[in-house]
Amino acid sequence: MKLYTTTNCQRCNIAKTLMDSKDLSYEIVNVEFDEEAAEVLRKAGFSTAPVLETDDGEYITMPRILGYVQMLTPQENN
């Protein structure tokens, strides 16, 4: 998975924290420093971060990222 972010993005930090807490493997791409990645997102119709590119090539944004991560990591039964 790839998480497209910007430098001072609170929602990006929330997404990263959640994904890290679930021990998910992903690549961070800061679109402020990667013009090619920024162009791909613009052409796909995205103008804000974060955007998560899933392993199957789907692009999702907040708050759907939160639900997607929860779906990948089932709740533990206590």
Domains defined for the chain, CATH in brackets: 2-72 (3.40.30.10)
Q: Count other C-beta atoms under 10 Å from residue 66's C-beta.
A: 14
Q: What is the pTM of this model?
A: 0.89
pLDDT values of the chain reduced to their tens digit, one per residue, 78 residues: 999 999 999 999 999 999 999 999 999 999 999 999 999 999 999 999 999 999 999 999 999 999 999 888 765 544
Helical segments of the chain, H only: 10-21, 35-43, 64-72
74 token code pair: 């089932």
Q: Which residues contact 56 (CB under 8 A, 6 or more apart)?
A: none
Work out the angle at residue 34's Cα, subtended by the Cα atoms of residues 27 and 56, and round it to the nearest 5 degrees.
40
